[in-house]
């Protein structure tokens, strides 16, 4: 594993970034399409505004959440994916692995989170705390989510997960698993760390709307900045901002 400390330039180094850009663009294209059609009651993508969800509605929403998580999180995972790719392509390391399977494991972890998010939205919709587009109908709910996310920004668990997401080399050295199965395991492991880092921010999608594309893009940008900037200033400022915003909603509820 000492070869990880001095990796040469990867062959076909542009292939992985281009693939990630393509997958991310595909995800955002799907979200744009879904956002445009979910409010059209004549569309097969339409969601019930007041009635209970059906089985197809659940499948549609899980798919939406899974694609959205991939579109939001793949850009922030790009440094880790690129480091993994350089490692298995290194002439010095002679380490076996698979970048597609690593990415598959990462996306699988977030797809699992998507199942929990879908269940949460289903429950909140049934008790009329969010509307059919996933927007909070309660200042109390919005306030609680904002205060909760703001508080989580200052926890040690958040810091621990974020620090591991920021250091690809450290993750590879500590968590290396060889082979194709190992690639999937590492992808799931890294995805789990990202979930530990970002799950509270994802709950904020219920504040202004799960299908509010501007809000989705803002949350995705914040996640990306947190991982790329090796300072806790962004996380702390964000935490204070969310606490003030959430407290304001609760006080005026």
Q: What is the per-residue pLDDT across 75-101, written as a single tens digit (0 to 9) for each?
A: 999 999 999 998 887 655 567 889 999
More confident position, 156 or 47: 156
The answer to whether residue 96 is domain-embedded is: yes
Beta strands in the chain (DSSP E): none
Give the mean pLDDT of 104-123.
Answer: 96
**pLDDT reported for residue 35:** 82
Whether the pLDDT of residue 2 is over 60: the answer is no
**pLDDT reported for residue 54:** 81
- Asked whether 113 and 58 are in contact (CB, 8 A), the reply is no
Full-model pTM: 0.89
**pLDDT reported for residue 165:** 93
Output the average pLDDT for the chain: 88
| Distance in angstroms (rounded) separating the CA atoms of residues 176 and 135 | 41
Cα–Cα–Cα angle for 153, 159, 163, nearest 5°? Answer: 135
Classify residue 74 by burial, with Cβ atoms within 10 Å: 0-12, 13-18, 19+. Answer: buried
**pLDDT reported for residue 144:** 97
The answer to whether residue 174 is domain-embedded is: yes
pLDDT category at 16 given cuts 50, 70, 90 is confident
The answer to whether residue 145 is domain-embedded is: yes
Q: What is the dihedral of CA 180, 184, 189, 195, to 10 degrees?
A: 160
The answer to whether residue 224 is domain-embedded is: yes
The answer to whether residue 4 is domain-embedded is: no
The answer to whether residue 2 is domain-embedded is: no
**Above pLDDT 70, what percent of the chain?**
87
Q: What is the per-residue pLDDT across 167-210, written as a single tens digit (0 to 9) for each?
A: 999 999 999 998 999 999 999 999 999 999 999 999 999 999 99
**pLDDT reported for residue 242:** 97
Cα–Cα–Cα angle for 227, 230, 231, nearest 5°? Answer: 110
Q: What is the per-residue pLDDT across 203-252, written as a single tens digit (0 to 9) for each?
A: 999 999 998 999 999 999 999 999 998 888 999 999 999 999 999 999 99
User: What backbone phi and psi angles, to 5 degrees, belong to 130?
Assistant: -135, 155
Residue 179 structure tokens? 């082979």
| Distance in angstroms (rounded) separating the CA atoms of residues 107 and 118 | 16
Compute CA 4 distance to the chain's CA centroid, rounded to the nearest angstrom.
27
Compute CA 63 distance to the chain's CA centroid, rounded to the nearest angstrom.
14
Is residue 134 left, alpha or beta, with left meaning phi > 0 and alpha meaning psi from -120 to 50? Answer: left
State the residue range of the domain holding 70. 9-251
pLDDT category at 50 given cuts 50, 70, 90 is low
Whether the pLDDT of residue 148 is over 50: the answer is yes
CB atoms within 10 A of CB 170: 12
**SS3 category, 96:** coil
The answer to whether residue 175 is domain-embedded is: yes
**Dihedral sign, Cα of residue 209, residue 79, residue 189, residue 24:** positive
Which residue reads 């703001």 in tokens?
150
The answer to whether residue 169 is domain-embedded is: yes
Task: Give the total number of structural domains in the chain.
Answer: 1
Write the CA distances from 99 to 23, 30, 137, 174, 240, integer angstroms.
14, 24, 42, 18, 38
């Amino acid at each position: 594993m000492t070869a990880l400390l001095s990796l040469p330039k990867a062959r076909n180094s542009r292939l992985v970034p281009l693939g990630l850009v393509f997958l991310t663009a595909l995800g955002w294209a799907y979200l744009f399409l879904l956002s445009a059609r979910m409010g059209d009651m004549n569309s097969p993508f339409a969601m019930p505004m007041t009635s209970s969800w059906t089985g197809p509605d659940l499948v549609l929403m899980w798919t939406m959440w899974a694609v959205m998580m991939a579109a939001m999180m793949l850009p922030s995972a790009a440094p880790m994916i690129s480091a993994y790719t350089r490692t298995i392509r290194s002439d010095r390391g002679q380490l076996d692995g698979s970048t597609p399977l690593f990415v598959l494991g990462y996306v699988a972890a977030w797809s699992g989170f998507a199942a929990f998010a879908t269940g949460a939205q289903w429950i909140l919709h049934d008790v009329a705390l969010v509307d059919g587009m996933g927007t909070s109908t309660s200042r109390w709910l919005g306030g609680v989510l904002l205060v909760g996310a703001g508080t989580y920004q200052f926890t040690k668990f958040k810091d621990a997960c974020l620090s591991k997401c920021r250091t690809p080399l450290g993750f590879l050295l500590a968590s290396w698993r060889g082979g194709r199965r190992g690639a999937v395991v590492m992808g799931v492991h890294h995805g789990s760390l990202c979930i530990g880092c970002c799950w509270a921010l994802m709950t904020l999608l219920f504040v202004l709307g799960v299908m509010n594309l501007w809000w989705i893009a803002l949350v995705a940008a914040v996640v990306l900045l947190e991982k790329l900037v090796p300072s806790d200033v962004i996380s702390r400022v964000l935490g204070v901002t969310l606490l003030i915003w959430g407290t304001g909603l609760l006080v005026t509820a």
